[in-house]
Amino acid sequence: MEVIIKNDYDGVCTESAAIIQEACRHKSSPVLGFPTGKTPLGLYEKLIGFYNQGGIDFASITAFNLDEYVGLEASHPQSFAYYMDNHLFRYVNIKRENVFRLNGQPGNIEEHCRSYEKKIQEVGGIDVQILGIGKNGHIAFNEPGSSLSSRTRLKILTRETVEANKPFFLNEREVPRFCLTMGIGTIVEAKMVLLLAAGKDKAESVARAIEGPVTASIPASALQLHARAIFVIDEAAASGLTNRDYYRWAYESKDRALDPLKIIPTKLKK
């Protein structure tokens, strides 16, 4: 795992956008997985900025949404489909036919989840899966206790999530109790996983995910088994990490390691 610690949230978003841009430069048809939530908002602004400056072309990008509430139409302002359109897709030149999302009103849920997984396979897998992390260590809607090998499926939302969502709905009956989410097994099959976290309230889950044991109780800890998992976090979210000085040192040393010539003293260079 690579842990990149930036001073603040803006730094987290800038670094993450640069990593995504770089990953996209190396693929003719990159496949990205997109999360919702507060944390990625700044990242999406940066990506839109890169797009406007010609730094990233979404025409060749295929997108998969990470999760969705069951019962909501894509046009519902609380749906994750709406969120992605509203915060990223409508501002860039992504092709509508290249945007795949979990349908909040599927006819047959199991069949829909299976075909979502199949679609991911058909396009060659996800190159970069972007993630946030919950205060309880969840990734996507894989709450603590989710199987580390779970696939895209129906999940029951936590009581806290249902309660927290109430103000956003006109009446209580409309508040979703179920969701569809990529599984942890689905997520860790991405070639690169990029997790963003900012703020003190994420410090404990970040520390447990990076330095604690791999456990279904902290779903994000499954990323310890991934060969290319990058955590981009701010100082506040890093505050619970025992090894944070090493992560900073490793990040500063990375450029040298990537270019062996840079570690040869100048006078020995021809």
Nearest-approach distance from CB 134 to ligand PGA, in angstroms: 4
Cα–Cα–Cα angle for 130, 134, 139, rounded to 5 degrees: 45
Q: Does residue 132 interact with ligand PGA by CB under 6 A?
A: yes
d(CA 165, CA 261): 54
Q: Does residue 62 interact with ligand PGA by CB under 6 A?
A: no
76 catalytic? Reply is no
110 catalytic? Reply is no
Q: In sequence order, what DSSP letters do the residues of 79-131 get, joined into one string?
A: SHHHHHHHHTGGGS---GGGEE---SS-SSHHHHHHHHHHHHHHTT--SEEEE
Task: Give the position of tokens 């979990």.
Answer: 102
Binding mask 8-37 for ligand PGA (x = CB under 6 A): -----------------------------x
d(CA 181, CA 158): 14
Q: Does residue 90 interact with ligand PGA by CB under 6 A?
A: no
Q: Does residue 133 interact with ligand PGA by CB under 6 A?
A: yes
- By beta-carbon proximity to ligand PGA, the closer residue of 19 and 195 is 195
Give the residue closest to ligand PGA by C-beta: 37
Residue 31 contacts by C-beta under 8 Å, 6 or more apart in sequence?
61, 62, 63, 64, 120, 123, 124, 125, 126, 127, 128
235 catalytic? Reply is no
The residue from 15, 138, 142, 189 that is catalytic is 138
- By beta-carbon proximity to ligand PGA, the closer residue of 133 and 180 is 133
- Candidate ranges 53-61, 86-94, 126-134, 183-191; the one touching ligand PGA (CB under 6 A): 126-134
d(CA 116, CA 111): 9
136 catalytic? Reply is yes
Nearest-approach distance from CB 38 to ligand PGA, in angstroms: 4
Cα–Cα–Cα angle for 43, 218, 139, rounded to 5 degrees: 30
The residue from 136, 165, 211, 226 that is catalytic is 136
Catalytic residue IDs: 67, 136, 138, 143
The binding site for ligand PGA (CB under 6 A) comprises 37-39, 132-134
